[in-house]
Structure 1
Amino acid sequence: MTDLKNGPGPDAVFAAKLAEGVFEIQKCGGCGAYIFHPRVICPTCGSANLGWITPTGHGTVYARTIVRRKPERGGDYNVVLVDLDEGVRMMSRVDGIANEEIVAGLKVTAAIGEGADGEPAVVFRPEGGAL
């Protein structure tokens, strides 16, 4: 549960967990809704009784785009929306597969990788794919 008066905000808690190698999302103790992006109150019922749980990490690509960049600027990269099995949608990227092979409906699994800023981030890999 988030301490609204003295504790760090939910975004800071999420980032600290990722830095420890732990991927968790919130779950409401009032209505049972899964929540992502981290919040202070449940967007479904308004309860502040939010806890952290480890999701299955399994999801499905909802949509993807490819950002085109010159090779000297790092080359192309993908941006995806992934629907986790828990029902929340995350923006991330898929590693371990060519950008053009990423399609809506692709089954993926979450992992902790490195974001563009060098900080830990949730990334996805194709299910059954090795990285």
Structure 2
Amino acid sequence: MQKIKDERLILLDLKMIRITFLVQTAGIIGILGYDLITAGFEGMRQNPLWIVFMITTVLYTFLSTSISVDYFEGTKTYSKKGLQIGFGIITIISVLWGYLTSISEGNTALEGFIVGGVIFASTAIPLLYVHYLRKKRTEE
């Protein structure tokens, strides 16, 4: 199989991939919606398609982040102050959420710590990634 070199064909191929992705995502959402109606939220989450949907969504979000950073136009595209403010906000949210989890009925302090840590990590990683991309773009 030869590599496509014509830009029109490459663009057409990318459009077909996008349409395929949209149809696949709509099918997954339809199946998960059916599970939500018939088996409830827990039944929907136990479907393996839920994991596929979550992984696809997270991957798409990370891949589109670099495009968002390229599209961002401004004289100052990154700042350490903005990064510090972001870390302050996610720290407050993580601690608050972890505390509320730990004081809720049937949960322990360890579970609250785990929930807070997961929330912190899942928001800190994208924050650092966007900061890195913006810093790299301004250095170029």
- TM-score > 0.5, shorter chain as reference: no
| Bigger helix share | 2
> When the two structures are superposed, what TM-score results if normalisation uses the length of structure 1?
0.25
Q: Which has the larger radius of gyration?
A: 2
> When the two structures are superposed, what TM-score results if normalisation uses the length of structure 2?
0.24
